[in-house]
Amino acid sequence: MAPVNVVTSAGQYPIHIAPGRLQHIADSVPENATRLVVISNPVVDGFYGDMLRQALASLNKPVLTIIVADGESFKSLDTLNIIYDRMLGEKLDRRAVVLALGGGVIGDMAGFAAATYMRGIRYMQIPTTLLAQVDSSVGGKTAVNHPLGKNMIGAFYQPVSVDIDINVLRTLPAREVSAGLAEVIKYGLILDREFFEWCENNVKQLVALDADALAYAIGRCCELKAQVVSEDEKETGLRAILNLGHTFGHAIEAGLGFGTWLHGEAVACGLVQAAVLSGKVLGLPSTDIKRVRALVRAIGCPDIAPDFGESTWLDLMQGDKKTEGGEIRYVLMSAIGKAQVRAAPLKLVQETLSLTVGDIAIDRDFQQGQAMAQNQA
């Protein structure tokens, strides 16, 4: 398919989406790059590192590989310093180019390292998870976590390209596929009712990694995100709607400990909670709330949130980046395909929590087995 172009204040860059794109990655490397820095984790590098380096060999440019631990618990300033130490030790100059080979954690950290090394060098996103392909690799958000909040230390810094190889999804665990599909259906909920309905009708194909279904879904998500980023690059208005489900989802991640649930799993559960709150605040029809819950279940994600206790829940949500003047702001839907950011009365938030949290097992492998069994029943 033709590249999707993202237009920003710094210029524009392409999103290439194709099976086997990794083997043509040299086409995206800036001609004047002096050195290439591949940042990845042990698992992804084991699958695709050699393939990437072989594809880069034709450029005759030195390639440095930096392997760091993956997972939300390692998305930290400590890990970032490991990257800086290697880059500084190798005396990389300002024309070096970083290649982020991995999921959202690697993409965020590598992007932030590029944004801050020598006040900014170029980088490329090569996302290897579905969630990263449809969301975190596009739009230039880079960050690391802090014990007091997720993604609270970061920068808006756009890549020079995003290269999406659909074939790499074949090695993803089923749990990672489910987590990525949460972000896919999010786009339909906030911007495109017809796409949400398409997801409902094609959910089995998506879960089964059908190539045609994936290509369409990834392409449509990238088109929608590119549209939003082009209008609001630094999240001063419209772009905040991309965080549907994230106020609740980030609270789940922080409350359980980063990495206990995958980001997409927490967001999926947050989508259900946001839908329930949308019904109370904006009158989202109960039939649509049921549709959201049903689709979350169909992709194999949790629809019941952990019960931390009301006060803990509210404290965790206070750390959300959309909070203004101490007031928690939520992305809510007046209808499927229409979203807005606004505050919600505390009483309605409390009612929503009472309806959406419960005593649940936090072992997601066990939960996913339950969900899949329900889908097949």
Considering 86, 263, 280, 297, which one is annotated as catalytic?
263
Distances (CA, A) of 119 to 58, 112, 159: 29, 10, 15
Considering 122, 225, 297, 321, which one is annotated as catalytic?
225
Sequence-distant (≥ 6) Cβ neighbours of residue 7 within 8 angstroms? 226, 230
Distances (CA, A) of 320 to 143, 147, 247, 351: 14, 13, 6, 20
Domain residue spans of the chain: 4-171, 176-376
Active site residue 141: yes
Q: Which pLDDT tens digit goes with each residue over 50-88? A: 999 999 999 999 999 999 998 888 999 999 999 999 999
Active site residue 351: no
Considering 72, 235, 253, 265, which one is annotated as catalytic?
235
Residue 366: pLDDT band (50, 70, 90) is very low
Active site residue 16: no
Considering 21, 150, 175, 239, which one is annotated as catalytic?
239
Residue 374: pLDDT band (50, 70, 90) is very low
**Distance separating alpha carbons of residues 265 and 287, to the nearest angstrom:** 23
Q: What is the pLDDT of residue 321?
A: 64
Active site residue 119: yes
Considering 32, 60, 91, 119, which one is annotated as catalytic?
119
Active site residue 280: no
- First-last CA distance in the chain: 37
Phi and psi torsions of 329, nearest 5°: -115, 140
Considering 220, 246, 280, 297, which one is annotated as catalytic?
246
Considering 21, 220, 250, 321, which one is annotated as catalytic?
250
- 8 Å CB contact between 115 and 125: no
What amino acid occupies position 7? V
Range 176-376 classified under CATH 1.10.10.10: no
Q: Which pLDDT tens digit goes with each residue over 346-362? A: 999 999 999 999 876 55
Q: What architecture (CATH level 2) is domain 4-171? A: 3-Layer(aba) Sandwich (3.40)
Active site residue 243: yes
Phi and psi torsions of 11, nearest 5°: 125, -155
Active site residue 225: yes
Q: Which pLDDT tens digit goes with each residue over 267-317? A: 999 999 999 999 999 999 999 999 999 999 999 999 999 999 999 999 999
Residue 327 is classified by DSSP as: B
For residue 64, the surrounding DSSP H or E stretch is strand 63-67
Residue 377: pLDDT band (50, 70, 90) is very low
Give the mean pLDDT of 215-237: 88
